[in-house]
Structure 1
Amino acid sequence: MKSYLGLIPISAKVHRRQNRMTILCIVFAVFLVTAVFSMAELGVRIEADRLLEKHGSQELENLAGSTMAQTLYPIAAVLTLLILIAGVLMISGSINSTVAQRTKFFGMMRCIGMSRQQIIRFVRLEALNWCKTAVPAGVALGIMAAWLLCAVLRFLVGGQFSEIPVFGISITGIVIGSVTGIAAVLLAARAPAKRAARVSPVEAVSGNEKGTGALRHGAKLCLFRVETALGIHHAVSAKKNLILMTGSFALSIMMFLSFSVLVDFVGYLMPQYSDASDIDISGSGGADTVDSGLLDTLSGMEGVKRVYGRRTSFQVPVEISGAAEGFGAAESSGAADLISYDDFGLDCLKKDDMLKKGSDISKVYGDSGYVLATSDADSLLRIGDKVKIGAEELEIAGLLKYDPFSSDGLTHGEVTLIMSGETFIRLTGITGYSLISVQTTGNVTEEDVEAIRAAAGEDCVFSDRRDQNTSGTYRAFAACVYGFLFVITLVTVLNIVNGISMSVSARTKQYGTMRAVGMDGRQITKMIAAEAFTYALSGCAAGCAAGLFISKWLFDVLIAAHFAYAVWELPVNSLLVILLAVILAAVLAVWAPAGRIRKLSVTETIGEL
Structure 2
Amino acid sequence: MKNYLELAPKYLSAHKRKTRLTITSVAMAVALVVGIFSMVDALVKFEKAQVLKDQGNYHILIRNPSPREIQAIGSRIDVQNAGTWKDLGEGTINGENCALTSLDENFAKNINFNLNKGRYPTSKNEIMLEKWFMEKSKPAHKIGDTMTITLPGKIIKKFTISGIYNNWGATKAAAIPAVFVSTKMSEQLKPKSSQYFVLFKDGVNIIKVEGEIKKTLNIVDARIGHNEGLLALMMQTKNNNVLKMYAVGGVLFFLVLITGVVMIYNTFNISVMERVRQFGILRCIGASEIQIKRLVKREGLSISWRAIPIGVFAGILITFICTAILKFYNTKLYGGIPLINFSVFGIGAGIVIGFLTVFIASLLPAKKAAKVSPVSALSGSMDSKISRKTKQGLLMKIFHAEIVIGISNSVYKKKTLFLISSSIALSIIMFMCFSVFVNPTFLGIKAPEVYTPDVSITSSQGIGENIYKKLSTLGNVKRVYGRMSNYVDATFDVTRLTGTYKKEMGPIKTESNGLMVAKEKSWIVSYDSMQMQWAKKSLMAGGMDENELNTQNGIVAVVKNYRKGELAADASMKVGDAVYIKTATWTKEYKVMGILSSVPYESEKQTLTTFITTQKQFAKITGDITSNYKTIDIQLNKKNQEQTINEIKALAKNSVTLHDSRQLNAEASSSFMTIAVFIYGFVGIITFISILNIINTMNTNITSKTKYLGIMRAIGMSDRQLTRMALAEAVVYTASGCVFGCAIGVLLQKNLTSFLISNWHFPVLQVVLIFIISILTAAFSIISPLRRIKARGISEVIGSL
TM-score, normalized by length of structure 1?
0.84
Task: Give the conservation status (yes or no) of the 8 Å contact 2:406–2:729.
Answer: yes
Counterpart in the other structure of 1:222 = 394
Contact 1:505–1:593, Cα closer than 8 Å, also in 2: yes
Give 3-state SS (helix, strand or coil) of 1:243's partner. helix
- How many residue pairs align between the two structures? 593
Q: 1:231 offset after TM fit, Å? A: 2.3
CA distance in 1, matches of 2:608, 2:294: 70
CA contact (8 A) 2:691 2:774 kept: yes
Q: Does 1:280 align with 2:456?
A: yes
Residue 348 of structure 1 corresponds to: 534
Cα distance in 2 for partners of 1:169, 1:605 equals 45
- Residue 467 of structure 1 deviates from its aligned partner by 1.6
Residue 482 (structure 2) pairs with residue 482 (structure 1): no
Q: Hey, what does 2:543 align to over in structure 1? A: 359
Q: Is contact 1:361-1:397 (8 Å) kept?
A: no
2:235 to 54, 64, 73: 64
| Alignment pair present for 1:416 and 2:610 | yes
**Aligned partner of 2:732 among 505, 518, 534:** 534
Which of 641, 663, 674 is equivalent to 1:467? Answer: 663
1:355 Cα deviation from its structure 2 partner: 2.0
Between structure 1 and structure 2, the one with the greater Rg is 2
Asked if structure 1 preserves the Cα contact closer than 8 Å seen for 2:28 and 2:689, the reply is yes
- Residue 620 of structure 2 corresponds to residue 426 of structure 1: yes
Paired residues of 2:30 and 2:260 also in contact (CA < 8 A): no
1:339 maps to 525
Match in the other structure for 2:102? none
Specify the alignment match of 1:147 in structure 2. Answer: 320
Amino acid paired to 1:464 = D
Deviates further, 256-265 or 572-581: 572-581
CA contact (8 A) 1:261 1:555 kept: yes
Deviates more, 1:448-457 or 1:532-541: 448-457
- Name 1:312's counterpart in structure 2: 485
Structure-1 separation of matches of 2:249 and 2:403: 42
User: What amino acid is the match of 2:534?
Assistant: C
Given the superposition, is the C-alpha separation of residues 38 and 92 from structure 1 closer, same or farther in structure 2, using an over 3 Å criterion? closer
1:65 is paired with a residue of what secondary structure? coil
* Residue of structure 2 equivalent to 1:437: 633
Q: 1:23 and 2:209 equivalent?
A: no
User: CA, structure 1 residues 316+37, in 2 after alignment: closer, same or farther (shift >3 Å)?
Assistant: farther
User: 1:464–1:90: structure 2 CA closer, same or farther, 3 Å change rule?
Assistant: same
Letter in 2 for 1:17: R
Correspondence for 1:502 among 666, 689, 700: 700
Letter of the 1:499 counterpart: T
Match of 2:417 in 1: 242
**Aligned amino acid, residue 143 of structure 1:** I
- Displacement of 1:193 in angstroms is 2.5
Residue 559 of structure 2 contacts residue 597 of structure 2 at CA under 8 Å; is this kept in 1? Answer: yes
1-side partners of 2:406 and 2:589: how far apart?
A: 67
Q: Per the alignment, do residues 2 and 336 of structure 1 end up closer, same or farther by CA in structure 2, a change over 3 Å counting?
A: farther
Percent sequence identity over aligned pairs: 32
Q: Deviations over 1:225-250 (max 9, x none)?
A: 34333322221221111110111110
| Structure 1 counterpart of 2:722, from 496, 519, 524 | 524
What do residues 165-203 of structure 1 show as CA deviations (whole Å, max 9, x unaligned)?
Answer: 433443233222333333333333333222322223334
Please give the secondary structure, in 2, of the residue aligned with 1:568: coil
The CA distance in 2 between the partners of 1:406 and 1:198, in whole Å, is 76
| 1:39 has 2:39 as partner | yes
- Counterpart of 1:58 in structure 2: which amino acid? K
User: Where do 1:86-101 residues align within 5 Å?
Assistant: 86-101=259-274
Does residue 270 in structure 1 map to residue 446 in structure 2? Answer: yes
Alpha-carbon distance, 1:339 to partner: 1.2
Contact map agreement 2:490 2:579 (CA 8 A) in 1: no
Distance 1:182 1:5, change over 3 A: same
- Hey, what's the Cα distance between the residues in 2 that align with 1:217 and 1:597? 29
Between the aligned partners of 1:598 and 1:154, the Cα distance in structure 2 is 50
CA deviation digits over 1:108-143, x for unaligned, max 9? 222334333332333233223223333222222322
- Residue 629 of structure 2 aligns to a residue in which SS? coil
| C-alpha separation in 2, matches of 1:522 and 1:70 | 57
Change (3 A) 1:57 1:359: same
Contact kept, 8 Å, 2:546 with 2:614, in 1: the verdict is: no
Q: Report Cα offsets for 1:534-583 as digits up to 9, x if no partner.
A: 212211111011111222343345x52xxxxx312222332222222112
- Offset, 1:14: 4.2
Deviations 1:458-477 (A, max 9, x none): 44332221122233553564
Which stretch of the first structure deviates more once superposed, 110-119 or 398-407?
398-407
The CA deviation string for residues 477-508 of structure 1, in whole angstroms up to 9 with x for no partner, is 44543344343333333332333343344444
Shift of 1:37: 2.1
Deviation at 1:274, TM superposition (A): 1.0
- Distance change (3 Å), C-alpha of 1:174 and 1:497: closer
1:198 maps onto 2:371 in alignment: yes
**Do 2:47 and 2:674's aligned partners in 1 also have CA atoms closer than 8 Å?**
no
Measure, in 2, the Cα distance between the counterparts of 1:555 and 1:206: 55
| Structure 1 pair 174–515 and aligned structure 2 pair: CA distance change class (3 A) | closer
Letter in 2 for 1:373: A
Aligned to 2:763: 571
Distance in 2 (alpha carbons) for counterparts of 1:153 and 1:404: 28
Query: Equivalent residues in 2 for 1:70-81 (5 A)?
Result: 70=243, 74-81=247-254
Provide structure 2 residue ranges, at least 5 long, that are not aligned to the other structure. Answer: 59-109, 112-197, 207-233, 503-507, 561-568
2-structure distance, mates of 1:594, 1:151 = 40
Task: Report which stretch shifted further, 375-384 or 73-82.
Answer: 375-384
The residue identity in structure 2 corresponding to 1:269 is I
Name the counterpart of 1:563: none
**Residue 584 of structure 1: how far off its partner (Å):** 0.8
CA distance in 1, matches of 2:741, 2:591: 44
Structure 1 residue 525: deviation in Å? 3.3
2:753 corresponds, among 549, 555, 570, to 555
Would you tell me which structure has more helix in proportion to its own residues? 1
Q: 1:381 aligns with which of 565, 573, 577?
A: 573
Indicate the SS of the match to 2:474: coil
Q: Which amino acid aligns with 2:679?
A: V
Q: Is the 8 A contact 2:296 2:362 kept in 1?
A: yes
Q: Which amino acid aligns with 2:26?
A: I
Q: Looking at secondary structure, tell me which structure has more strand per residue.
A: 2
Q: 1:438: how far off?
A: 1.6
The question of whether the paired residues in 2 share the 8 Å contact of 1:30 and 1:139 is answered with yes
Secondary structure at the counterpart of residue 201 of structure 2: helix
Structure 1 residues 46 and 503, CA gap change in structure 2 (3 angstroms): closer
What is the root-mean-square deviation of aligned Cα atoms in Å? Answer: 3.9
SS in 2 for 1:56: strand
CA contact under 8 A between 1:360 and 1:398: conserved in structure 2? yes
Contact 1:157/1:473 (CA < 8 Å) preserved in 2? no
Q: CA deviation at 1:159?
A: 6.1
Give, in whole Å, the separation in 2 of the partners of 1:548 and 1:603. 48
In structure 2, give the amino acid aligned to 1:177: G
TM-score (norm 2): 0.65
Which secondary structure state, in structure 2, belongs to the residue aligned with residue 434 of structure 1? strand
Local SS of the residue matching 2:538: coil
The residue type equivalent to 1:438 in the other structure is I
Cα distance, 1:163–1:429 mapped onto 2, change above 3 Å? farther
Contact 1:382–1:396 (CA under 8 A) maintained in structure 2: yes
1:531 shift after superposition: 2.0
What is the aligned counterpart of 1:157 among 302, 315, 330?
Answer: 330
In the TM superposition, residue 363 of structure 1 has moved relative to its aligned partner by 3.8
Aligned CA distance change for structure 1 residues 183 and 83 (closer, same or farther; 3 Å): farther
Of stretches 3-12 and 386-395 in structure 1, the one that deviates more from structure 2 is: 3-12
